[in-house]
Structure 1
């Protein structure tokens, strides 16, 4: 879609070029959502895809994904890790989360992890990925400083996050301790290719990493909910944990009513718990 209100497109070459972001400016990473509908408030696009960030950096302590890394590259990383990091048992989750999006291969080659997270929609599949793998987000401030936080702290509501004007999501770090864990993935949607109504992911860490159990709930809720246990919980303990999700935190739209989402989340969570037991 043509964005007829856009007057300027800028291509920052370094971080200093991002220091001034004014009302009407919008950062462009992939733009697949940005160009999907009218954006009458946008006057300038700031395209960060030419900043030259390495999309994927593998280290012994985990993976760093640039905000401009495409979903296609993240999905392909699953096969790459099978041979290069066989101990990272969570590798299949990268492709599973990318596949949870309703998107063509053309979209996946353009859409970015940063754009998906910064949109902060309940069904953001990269939010699901980062929440389940204990990811840390690095944010650049316009004054040249940085700060880090978890996905559950970044997304605060439906299409709402903590970014202040001029702040830019720089990278996502997935720690090796989480990548070594076994994972189980469940998604439900009204149709096979429909937008996710609930995504539930479980992770059981290796004994070396403490043997804990993590359950993340996304899409069904307006923001991510992550529950951590020292070991695999029993069914009643898991149900009790899920009951702590506030009533007004369940997503309510055409893809599912809140009570239905709460019910299927509990069902999927029990399936995940059983698979990882």
Structure 2
């Protein structure tokens, strides 16, 4: 869709060249949402492509994902053999309600910044204990866990002029065993619930609940809980008001699916013996 209110496009090449933020500005990365509907309030786009951030970086510390990395590039990453959690990347990329053409353009950071309950990059990066680096509009930096970055349906911690720079995933999280569950009302529908569990060699459990809730919810257990303990934890930690309500699923259904999928994940990870 043409954005006929845009009067200027700025293409900075370094952070120092980023213009002062003003009313009517928008960051442009993949643009898959930006160009999908009218944006009458916008007058200037700040195109991030010339910053030329390296999309993906593997190091001894783990994985660094630039906010401008495309979903297709992330899905195509060749992961080290010791990254036991790597299959979660493929599973979350395929949880998108999008065509392959969108995959090639949509960015990982854009999915986080849209902050929709069904955002599968939110699910993946929260489950892998990712940490966001934010370039603040005043020139500083802020680091925020992905699980805390999203604060509600289509809301997050970014202030006007803040820019998500990258997401860092620690090596320890990538070496954890993972289990993935997703459900939607229709075969190719938006996720009504998307849950991921990870477990380390000591048998602990980190359960990440997304899709069904308005923001990520995480439960940590020092050892693998039994079914009763897990269910009780979910009922206490996720109040009914936290379940999302839209055409893709009512809160009562999302809650029921969360409880069901969480138990499936627990049972799968509990059966694993290193």
* TM-score, scaled relative to structure 2: 0.96
- Alignment of 1:192 with 2:187, yes or no, is yes
2:241 — aligned with what?
248
Partner of 2:62: 62
User: How far apart, in 1, do the equivalents of 2:119 and 2:260 lie?
Assistant: 21
Q: CA deviation at 1:250?
A: 0.6
Q: Does 1:139 align with 2:116?
A: no
> Quick one: distance in 2 between partners of 1:121 and 1:65?
20
- Secondary structure of the residue aligned to 2:35 is helix
Q: What is the TM-score when the length of structure 1 is the normalising length?
A: 0.95
Alignment of 1:27-106 (within 5 A): 27-77=27-77, 80-81=78-79, 85-106=80-101
In the TM superposition, residue 19 of structure 1 has moved relative to its aligned partner by: 4.7
Distance in 2 (alpha carbons) for counterparts of 1:217 and 1:239: 13
- TM-aligned CA deviation for residue 114 of structure 1: 0.6
For the pair 1:158 / 2:153, whether they are aligned, the reply is yes
Aligned to 1:258: 251
Hey, what's the Cα distance between the residues in 1 that align with 2:128 and 2:19? 31
**2-side partners of 1:20 and 1:245: how far apart?**
40
Q: How far apart in 2 are the matches of 1:114 and 1:59?
A: 20
Aligned to 1:203: 198
Partners of 1:181 and 1:55 in 2: CA distance: 23
Please report how far the alpha carbon of residue 168 of structure 1 lies from its aligned counterpart in structure 2 after TM superposition. Answer: 0.2
CA displacement at 1:247 relative to structure 2:
1.6
Pairwise CA distance, 1:160 = 0.4
Moved more, 60-69 or 19-28: 19-28
Cα deviation digits, residues 94-145 of structure 1 (max 9, x gap): 1110100011111000000110000001111110011100000000012221
Retained in 1: the 8 A contact 2:129–2:147? no
Q: Which range is displaced more, 253-262 or 42-51?
A: 42-51
- Structure 1 residues without counterparts, runs of 5 or longer: none
Tell me the distance in 1 between the aligned counterparts of 2:23 and 2:137: 14
CA distance in 2, matches of 1:206, 1:11: 47
SS at match of 2:178: strand
2:123 aligns to what SS in structure 1? helix
Unaligned runs of 5+ in 2: none
> How much does 1:206 deviate?
2.7
* CA positional deviation for 1:42: 1.1
More moved, 9-18 vs 86-95: 9-18
Aligned to 2:20: 20
Number of residues of Structure 1 aligned to a counterpart in Structure 2: 269
- Which of the residues 221, 231, 254 maps onto 1:229? 221
User: What SS does the aligned partner of 1:35 have?
Assistant: coil
Following superposition, the deviation at residue 89 of structure 1 comes to 0.4
Match of 1:172 in 2: 167
- Distance in 1 (CA, whole Å) between partners of 2:165 and 2:36 is 24
SS in 2 for 1:109: helix
Cα distance in 1, alignment partners of residues 90 and 19 from structure 2 = 35
